[in-house]
């Protein structure tokens, strides 16, 4: 039996404009847990203080709870009632009271993984956004901040380690093989930052001395056997702590910082005060089992959660409409950190690629919403690429406009002014405005208008001088038909291609009008324009440029991001022409890639990114009606042409030895990445020796980056080596869940024509389970990211995803709802596909007892 039924499907829409400050504050919370996997008793004592002028009942939110007892100021209390899932306590004329409530919860049957749940025998919590109300009755809104004292007691053998937020202030043995611990967190916090962990864990201990000389004890807690895979996370934690001091002047504020890794987790990780809880995927890494991408993921997520201590915890959100206040800013901070730790250009390319893959489609579809939404039904559905990644771009633009020093003045003011408060996006903008000295009146539209602005550019000549004409439009999105022009910081430069050296050096132009003319200066002939350098604004640029101009920029632009963009645009133009039957030859692309490869020895990481073909999905995004089959065919054809034409260069890249897997330097990682790209280009050709070559790389690999790249390449094909490699990989890693996820994933990513059937079969594999979100994502998430497979003409891909949504919803609505958006892109496809996609959404909605999460996503996806 599962308990998802506690989430009602009645679609109630919550509006940002309806915000009212809480009637009651809760300065102190004392929790007492009698822990057991099947049933845990929770005794809560809330000190409540009335904020409203007139008597008003205390509303405590609950989800699936029944109060076993209610006491007020120590006395049994009968003046309470249930209102749906919530508890209403009438406190009469009182302005303050202590309200005690006992509840009984069932961690083992909590398959939603929200609230207190069991994972691999251990107990852990996830409270953001509204999980605390599944543990005990509470206002459970982020503008109610409390000091927490947590006592927990449980079987010492089952739960030798007992952790919560803050510091452990007492512990001891209890009766019947029990032991207990008392934790206290001195910092007032909202309930979504509460955490508790109890289990059989081992720790990697270290310490960090803060800038004011305080010693902080660090602990990363994992299951026995995983300890030797925690070192990278520990290093990332220490690097993050030092970085936040250096770059933002922010110091850690407790004597203890714990991280716990759990294998069943809906998201990446959670920033609970002093006790971060992580998906194992973002903690565990060693060269044998983790790729370089995995290593970077660990570093980035550890940093992200750590940075939340200031941007999120010390200054939290007033309400969930302000989610991007903490998430956009924190993503921006972790992006800058990772850029500083590695290659800024490569990091920017990766971030922009992710934005275009995940956020641009969201902004162009039925689920589009501003980074500060106006309404929602289920807040879990709003942990989106828009809130996170577009939110980060909005902060990035502010930082670009004012420069690093003034931006720091703005953030200093923000932290100083709002420390200990639950703030709004408006508070942040005002602090930047005042601290950095800039007028952001028009810029605020980025918070309220959804949709990706589109800039249409053309060059004009005015008596020897050149100028750029810019028109901006913001497309209509659900509920927002008419848009106003935005304030857009656009970095540009212009170069003479004639060897004269004439140039307009990098300039930051702030667009404010619907049309604008930007003077470029005198050039003897049409200059090459380097536009949106460093991706200074999250916009789409329409600008027709000749292949020669793009090739020139790809080779000569002084901004590496702009070089990358020019080559990508050249590839994209070539591919879009081919898909629309207007083939124009691949020579320009081949020459530009050939030239870029000349820099492979100096900066292999950049070169590897630059020579990658745009994804099938991104090619589709350029078309009025996406033709998945033609896109796959033409992309593979271009890949094969490049593979053949530059064969000797690809083979030269693969000829040398791979850098040792233990070498995690920028150069070594780049070298491995480029080898993976070279192998993929060769594999696209029909050259006979490629399967054997890939198998040799697979077998000789001393680490997971090379091994996975070779396996993924083989998985696309039809060779005996494919079968052998998949089998060897499975046998070797069948006991390692994170690596087994990769085994599922490479098969679901496959370019083979039978991938949908393969996924269907893999879902029956004994190692497949719906209980683990990582496993679900590794199979089904990979399939819906595989454009030609998901959009297979007979609709089998759609059916498979809809079947999954229906099967998973009763167990884990949050993870189920996250699988829906790909089905909502039906407007972008031909009528036959659109009809099948809509039919699947309707079939989902016809299920009885559907969760609020899935109901909201599926019904909005049909609009
Ligand atoms: N605040 C976390 C993300 C997060 C949100 C909801 C969760 O519930 C399952 C878990 C994590 C972050 O930004 O990392
Ligand atoms: Zn976050």
Q: Could you tell me if 747 and 726 are in contact, meaning their C-beta atoms sit under 8 angstroms apart?
A: yes
**pLDDT for 622:** 97
Task: Name the percent of the chain lying above pLDDT 70.
Answer: 99
* CATH numeric code, 28-200: 2.60.40.1730
Q: Judge if the beta carbon of residue 91 lies within 6 A of ligand 1.
A: no
**pLDDT for 843:** 98
Fold classified for 316-447: Neutral Protease; domain 2 (1.10.390)
Confidence band of 463 (pLDDT split at 50, 70, 90):
confident
Render pLDDT for 345-390 as a digit per residue (tens, 0 to 9): 999 999 999 999 999 999 999 999 999 999 999 999 999 999 999 9
Q: Across-strand partners of 262?
A: 279
Write the CA distances from 68 to 106, 125, 138, 381, integer angstroms: 14, 21, 15, 32
Confidence band of 837 (pLDDT split at 50, 70, 90):
very high
Q: Whose CA is nearest to atom 6 of ligand 1?
A: 128
**pLDDT for 584:** 80
Confidence band of 11 (pLDDT split at 50, 70, 90):
confident
Confidence band of 2 (pLDDT split at 50, 70, 90):
very low
Structure token digits, residue 211: 């800038």
Q: Judge if the beta carbon of residue 126 lies within 6 A of ligand 1.
A: yes
Residue to substitute in 311, 383, 813 for testing ligand 1 pocket (most ligand atoms within 8 angstroms of CB) = 383
Q: Which atom of ligand 1 is nearest to the CA of 327?
A: 13
Among all ligands shown, which has an atom nearest to the Cα of 301? 1
Our CA angle for 405, 407, 412, nearest 5°, is: 95
Among all ligands shown, which has an atom nearest to the Cα of 129? 1
Q: In 3-state terms, what secondary structure has residue 41? A: strand
Render pLDDT for 17-70 as a digit per residue (tens, 0 to 9): 999 999 999 999 999 999 999 999 999 999 999 999 999 999 999 999 999 999
Q: Could you tell me if 455 and 541 are in contact, meaning their C-beta atoms sit under 8 angstroms apart?
A: yes
Q: Judge if the beta carbon of residue 529 lies within 6 A of ligand 1.
A: no
Confidence band of 10 (pLDDT split at 50, 70, 90):
low
Rounded to the nearest angstrom, the distance between the alpha carbon of 266 and the centre of ligand 1 is 8
Query: What is the mean predicted confidence (pLDDT) over 189-211?
Result: 99
> Catalytic amino acids?
305
Q: Across-strand partners of 96?
A: 49
- The burial of 655, by beta-carbon neighbours within 10 Å (0-12 exposed, 13-18 middle, 19 or more buried), is given as exposed
Domain pair 28-200 / 454-544, same fold? yes
Contacts of 762 (CB under 8 A, 6+ apart): 744, 747, 748, 768, 779
Residue to substitute in 262, 269, 774 for testing ligand 1 pocket (most ligand atoms within 8 angstroms of CB) = 269
Write out the H or E segment, with its range, that includes residue 861: helix 852-861
What predicted TM-score, i.e. pTM, was given to this entire model?
A: 0.98
Contacts of 175 (CB under 8 A, 6+ apart): none
Rounded to the nearest angstrom, the distance between the alpha carbon of 108 and the centre of ligand 1 is 21
Task: Name the percent of the chain lying above pLDDT 90.
Answer: 97
**pLDDT for 583:** 78
Render pLDDT for 583-606 as a digit per residue (tens, 0 to 9): 788 999 999 999 999 999 999 999
Across the chain, what does the average pLDDT equal? 97
Q: Judge if the beta carbon of residue 270 lies within 6 A of ligand 1.
A: yes
CA distance 455 to 472: 5
Query: What is the mean predicted confidence (pLDDT) over 116-137?
Result: 98
Query: What is the mean predicted confidence (pLDDT) over 161-186?
Result: 98
Q: Which atom of ligand 1 is nearest to the CA of 129?
A: 6
Render pLDDT for 619-671 as a digit per residue (tens, 0 to 9): 999 999 999 999 999 999 999 999 999 999 999 999 989 999 999 999 999 99
Q: Judge if the beta carbon of residue 334 lies within 6 A of ligand 1.
A: no
- Alpha carbons within 13 angstroms on the beta-carbon side of residue 49 total 8
ipTM of the complex: 0.99
Which residue in 152, 156, 155 sits closest to 168, CA to CA? 152
* CATH numeric code, 454-544: 2.60.40.1840
Residue to substitute in 7, 115, 128 for testing ligand 1 pocket (most ligand atoms within 8 angstroms of CB) = 128
Q: Judge if the beta carbon of residue 383 lies within 6 A of ligand 1.
A: yes
Q: Which residues of 360-384 are buried (b: 16+ CB within 10 A; e: fewer)?
A: bbbbbbbbbbbbbbbebbbbbbbbb
Q: Whose CA is nearest to atom 9 of ligand 1?
A: 266
Which residue in 429, 404, 420 sits closest to 249, CA to CA? 404
Give the residue ranges of DSSP H helices in 628-665.
Answer: 628-645, 647-655
Q: Is 615 left (phi over 0), alpha (psi -120 to 50) or beta?
A: beta
177 has pLDDT over 90: yes
CA distance 19 to 141: 11
Q: Whose CA is nearest to atom 8 of ligand 1?
A: 128
Q: Which residue has the tokens 């956020």?
A: 359
Query: What is the mean predicted confidence (pLDDT) over 746-773?
Result: 98
Among all ligands shown, which has an atom nearest to the Cα of 320? 1
The DSSP result for 835-859, as a single string, is HHHHHHHHHHHTSTT--HHHHHHHH
Render pLDDT for 281-294 as a digit per residue (tens, 0 to 9): 999 999 999 999 99
**pLDDT for 184:** 98
Rounded to the nearest angstrom, the distance between the alpha carbon of 134 and the centre of ligand 1 is 16
CA distance 562 to 606: 12
Q: Judge if the beta carbon of residue 266 lies within 6 A of ligand 1.
A: yes
Q: Judge if the beta carbon of residue 296 lies within 6 A of ligand 1.
A: no
**Segments making up each domain of the chain, as ranges:** 28-200, 316-447, 454-544
**pLDDT for 4:** 41
Q: Judge if the beta carbon of residue 269 lies within 6 A of ligand 1.
A: yes
Rounded to the nearest angstrom, the distance between the alpha carbon of 61 and the centre of ligand 1 is 20
Rounded to the nearest angstrom, the distance between the alpha carbon of 306 and the centre of ligand 1 is 13
5 has pLDDT over 90: no
- The burial of 78, by beta-carbon neighbours within 10 Å (0-12 exposed, 13-18 middle, 19 or more buried), is given as exposed
Q: Is 540 left (phi over 0), alpha (psi -120 to 50) or beta?
A: beta
Q: Across-strand partners of 540?
A: 454
Query: What is the mean predicted confidence (pLDDT) over 674-679?
Result: 98
Q: How many residues does the chain have?
A: 863
Rounded to the nearest angstrom, the distance between the alpha carbon of 270 and the centre of ligand 2 is 7
Among all ligands shown, which has an atom nearest to the Cα of 814? 1
Q: Whose CA is nearest to atom 12 of ligand 1?
A: 270
Query: What is the mean predicted confidence (pLDDT) over 91-108?
Result: 98
Query: What is the mean predicted confidence (pLDDT) over 463-492?
Result: 97
Structure token digits, residue 359: 């956020």
Q: Whose CA is nearest to atom 7 of ligand 1?
A: 128
3 has pLDDT over 60: no
CA distance 743 to 745: 5
Angle between helices 292-307 and 666-684 (to 10 degrees): 130
Radius of gyration of the chain (CA): 28
Which residue in 400, 410, 430, 403 sits closest to 537, CA to CA? 400
Render pLDDT for 483-509 as a digit per residue (tens, 0 to 9): 999 999 999 999 999 989 989 999 999
Confidence band of 517 (pLDDT split at 50, 70, 90):
very high
Among all ligands shown, which has an atom nearest to the Cα of 326? 2
Write out the H or E segment, with its range, that includes residue 60: strand 58-60
611 has pLDDT over 60: yes
């Amino acid at each position: 039996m599962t308990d998802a039924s506690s989430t009602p499907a009645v679609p109630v829409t919550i509006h940002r404009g309806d915000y009212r400050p809480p009637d009651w504050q809760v300065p102190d919370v004392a929790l007492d847990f009698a822990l057991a996997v099947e049933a845990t008793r929770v005794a809560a004592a809330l000190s409540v203080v009335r904020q409203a002028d007139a008597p008003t009942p205390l509303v405590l939110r609950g989800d699936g709870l029944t109060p076993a007892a209610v006491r007020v100021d120590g006395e049994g209390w009968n003046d309470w009632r249930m209102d749906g899932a919530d508890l209403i306590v009438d406190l009469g004329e009182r302005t303050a009271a202590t309200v005690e409530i006992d509840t009984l919860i069932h961690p083992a049957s909590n398959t939603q993984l929200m609230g207190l749940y069991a994972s691999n025998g251990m107990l852990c919590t996830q409270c953001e956004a509204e999980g605390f109300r599944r543990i005990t009755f509470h206002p459970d809104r982020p503008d109610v901040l409390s000091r927490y004292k947590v006592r927990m007691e449980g079987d010492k053998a089952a739960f030798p380690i007992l952790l919560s937020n803050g510091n452990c202030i007492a512990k001891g043995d209890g009766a019947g093989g029990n032991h207990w611990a008392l934790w206290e967190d001195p910092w007032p916090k909202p309930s979504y930052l509460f955490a508790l962990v109890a289990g059989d864990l081992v720790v990697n201990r270290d310490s960090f001395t803060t800038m004011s000389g305080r010693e902080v004890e660090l602990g990363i807690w994992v299951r026995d056997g995983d300890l030797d895979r925690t070192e990278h996370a520990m290093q990332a934690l220490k690097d993050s702590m030092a970085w936040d001091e250096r770059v933002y002047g922010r110091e850690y504020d407790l004597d203890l910082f714990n991280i716990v890794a759990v294998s069943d987790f809906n998201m990446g990780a959670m920033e609970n005060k002093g006790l971060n809880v992580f998906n194992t995927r973002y903690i565990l890494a060693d060269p044998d089992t983790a790729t370089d991408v995995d290593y970077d993921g660990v570093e980035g997520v550890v940093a992200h959660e750590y940075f939340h201590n200031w941007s999120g915890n010390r200054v939290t959100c007033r309400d969930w409409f302000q989610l991007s206040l903490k998430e956009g800013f924190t993503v921006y901070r972790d992006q800058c950190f990772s850029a500083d730790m590695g290659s800024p250009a490569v990091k920017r390319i990766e971030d922009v690629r992710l934005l275009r893959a995940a956020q641009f489609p969201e902004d162009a579809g039925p689920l589009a919403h501003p980074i500060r939404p106006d309404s929602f039904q289920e807040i879990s559905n709003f942990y989106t690429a828009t809130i996170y990644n577009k939110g980060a771009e909005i902060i990035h633009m502010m930082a670009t406009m004012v420069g690093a020093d003034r931006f720091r003045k703005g953030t200093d003011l923000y932290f100083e002014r709002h420390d200990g408060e639950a703030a709004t996006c408006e508070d942040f903008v005002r602090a930047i405005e005042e601290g950095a000295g800039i007028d952001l009146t028009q810029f605020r539209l980025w918070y309220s208008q959804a949709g990706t602005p589109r800039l249409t550019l053309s060059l004009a000549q005015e008596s020897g001088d050149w100028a750029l004409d810019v028109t901006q439009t913001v497309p209509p999105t659900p509920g927002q038909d008419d848009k106003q022009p935005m304030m857009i910081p656009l970095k540009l430069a212009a170069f003479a291609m004639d060897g004269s050296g004439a140039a307009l050096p990098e300039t930051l132009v702030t667009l404010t009008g619907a049309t604008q003319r930007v003077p470029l200066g005198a050039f003897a002939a049409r200059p090459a324009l380097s536009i949106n350098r460093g991706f200074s604004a999250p916009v789409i640029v329409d600008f027709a440029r000749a292949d020669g101009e793009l090739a020139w920029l790809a080779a000569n632009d002084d901004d590496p991001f702009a070089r990358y963009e020019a080559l990508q645009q050249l590839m994209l133009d070539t591919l879009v022409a081919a898909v629309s039957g207007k083939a124009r030859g691949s020579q320009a692309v081949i020459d530009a890639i050939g030239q870029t490869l000349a820099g492979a020895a100096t900066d292999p990481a950049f070169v590897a990114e630059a020579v990658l073909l745009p994804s099938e999905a991104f090619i589709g995004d350029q078309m009025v009606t996406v033709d998945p089959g033609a896109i796959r065919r033409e992309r593979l054809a271009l890949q094969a042409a490049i593979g053949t034409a530059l064969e000797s260069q690809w083979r030269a890249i693969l000829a040398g030895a791979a850098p040792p897997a233990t070498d995690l330097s920028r150069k070594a990682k780049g070298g491995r990445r480029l080898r993976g790209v070279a192998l993929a280009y060769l594999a696209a050709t029909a050259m006979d020796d490629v399967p054997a070559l890939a198998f040799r790389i697979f077998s000789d690999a001393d680490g997971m980056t090379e091994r996975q790249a070779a396996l993924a390449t083989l998985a696309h094909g039809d060779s005996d080596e494919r079968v052998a490699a998949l089998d060897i990989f499975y046998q070797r890693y069948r006991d390692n869940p994170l690596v087994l996820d990769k085994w599922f994933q490479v098969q679901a990513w496959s370019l083979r024509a039978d991938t949908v059937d393969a996924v269907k079969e893999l879902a029956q594999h004994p190692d497949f389970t719906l209980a683990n979100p990582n496993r679900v994502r590794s199979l089904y998430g990979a399939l819906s990211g595989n454009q030609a497979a998901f959009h297979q003409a007979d609709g089998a891909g759609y059916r498979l995803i809809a079947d999954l949504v229906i099967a998973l919803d009763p167990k884990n609505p949050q993870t189920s709802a996250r699988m829906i958006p790909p089905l909502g892109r039906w407007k972008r496809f031909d009528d036959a596909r659109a009809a099948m996609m809509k039919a699947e959404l309707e079939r989902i909605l016809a299920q009885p007892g559907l969760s609020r999460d899935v109901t909201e996503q599926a019904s909005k996806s049909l609009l």
